[in-house]
Amino acid sequence: MSASRLLLIAGLLALAATPALGRDVAFDPGMRNPLLPGYFADPSIVRDGDEWLVFATIDPWGADTLGLWRSRNFRDWTFETPNWPTKAAATSPTSGKSKVWAPSVVKGHDGKFWMYVSVGNEVWVGSADRPAGPWRDANGGKPLIPRNFRPGLHMIDAEAFVDDDGQAYLYWGSGLNWVNGHCFVVKLKPDMVTFDGEPRDVTPPHYFEAPFMLKRGGRYFLTYSWGNTTKDTYQLRYAVGSSPMGPFRQVSDQPLLATDTKRQIISPGHHAIFSARGEDFVLYHRQGLPFTPAGDMVLRQVAVDRLTVSGDKLSIVSTHRGADVPGAAARRSSARPAARLTASGAADAAHFPAAAGDDNYATSWRSNPGAAWLQADLGAVKAIGATTLRPAYPTATISFSVEASLDGKVWRQIAAERAASGSPITLPAIPKTRFVRLVFPQGANIIEWNWLTQ
């Protein structure tokens, strides 16, 4: 790990002991970015009635399914996995070994929802009547864009755009070895699957991958990522055109989002843009905190911030506080326990016990390998309502039991050991106690442990 990253971790330790005073600091309690509890990337967002749904790549580097987060208040999210695609169900002779990643979900002119998703190193398409599913393959069990469609380039990161007249377009393309990205666009026929004409190469300056089309004021903004997401060079950029088919000109050589090490924002990019009550926002990933080791290992987290459009110019300010999306709750409903958290130990100094109770998804307590426990001292005997856990990896199974004590010496078991996955995981209420202990036979990595006192 670089010296600069070690210094940032040292800053994390100092900030963890500092109360939030209206600051926008990564490690302050109550920060609303990251939006989602866990490590996810390449987000796509849709709204269905009064529910928000965020589809995303499961880090590191995808899984056998996508991750899906659902919320009715834009603050409290519940995790699940869509039924399609899976690596097993969406594969072909040209797929390659990469897994499921980079979804784009849109509502078509036909009222159905359409997903364009990378499975392996090619693009598949599926449809559903509702975004939560069930989803089904829409192209006869074969990729829409096979891996060898343009040899020497990655056929990934497809993103659909539906214009005001109902005409749909598909954008996609990346490079190899973090260089030479190309962006393609094609008009789609009303079936949302068949190409209407030949794809066109519309690669703008400083393009590598992750195109997303935005239309405002009659202008077409092609937004995209450039750089390397495993390092600190990943950026969000844009170009403007008068047609969804291009050509696109770069308005400014300055990125919309880029690394800001002083503010602990590293490699922001691969985004989706959405609107709420006439206001625009950008959902994007950036490297998880504290930062991941050097090399190709990468863990990313999803953030949301405001997007401003002025003529042919876009602007975004990346924050830790997060955006006030209209209709969203001001804060997460989970209570921050008035308790002192201690543990059997920690994997390193950056993953200390109190990080599991700071209402900040950038931080977590991570145990040493093997059996471990996380304990809360409430300061007085009181009743405890339902307890919820937010594990760092919702797709992984963790085993735990729950114990309670009035004096910290004599313990009684409240819940026998069980295995669970997902987020949140709900644990039973405790009628009367001062100390609560979670025992993890195989260890754990917990982003948040929340409960309500009765």
Q: What is the mean pLDDT of residues 344-350?
A: 94
Alpha-carbon distance values, 1 to 6, 9, 293 (Å):
7, 11, 6
pLDDT at position 451 is 78
Q: In this structure, what token pair is assigned to residue 329? A: 């709750």
Cβ within 8 Å of residue 351, ≥6 positions away = 290, 363, 364, 365, 366, 445
Of residues 386 and 439, the one with the higher pLDDT is: 439
pLDDT at position 453 is 52
pLDDT above 90: percentage of residues in the chain: 86
Within 10 Å of residue 57's Cβ, how many Cβ atoms? 27
Mean pLDDT of the chain: 92
Is residue 82 over pLDDT 80? yes
- Which neighbouring-strand residues pair with 136? 127
How would residue 396 be classed by pLDDT, with cut points 50, 70 and 90? very high
How would residue 452 be classed by pLDDT, with cut points 50, 70 and 90? low
- Give the least confident one: 7-11, 204-208, 303-307, 363-367: 7-11
pLDDT at position 295 is 65
Instruction: Please report the sign of the dihedral spanned by the C-alpha atoms of residue 317, residue 364, residue 395, residue 32.
Output: negative
- Which neighbouring-strand residues pair with 116? 104, 125
pLDDT at position 205 is 96
Output Rg (C-alpha) for the chain, integer angstroms: 23
- Compute the distance between CA of residue 62 and CA of residue 268 in angstroms, rounded to an integer: 18
CB 187 within 8 Å of CB 198: no
Q: In this structure, what token pair is assigned to residue 263? A: 């503010």
Is residue 18 over pLDDT 80? no
Q: Which domains does the chain have, with CATH numbers?
A: 32-316 (2.115.10.20), 340-453 (2.60.120.260)
Helices (H) and strands (E) in the chain, counts: 1, 27
Q: What is the mean pLDDT of residues 77-95?
A: 96
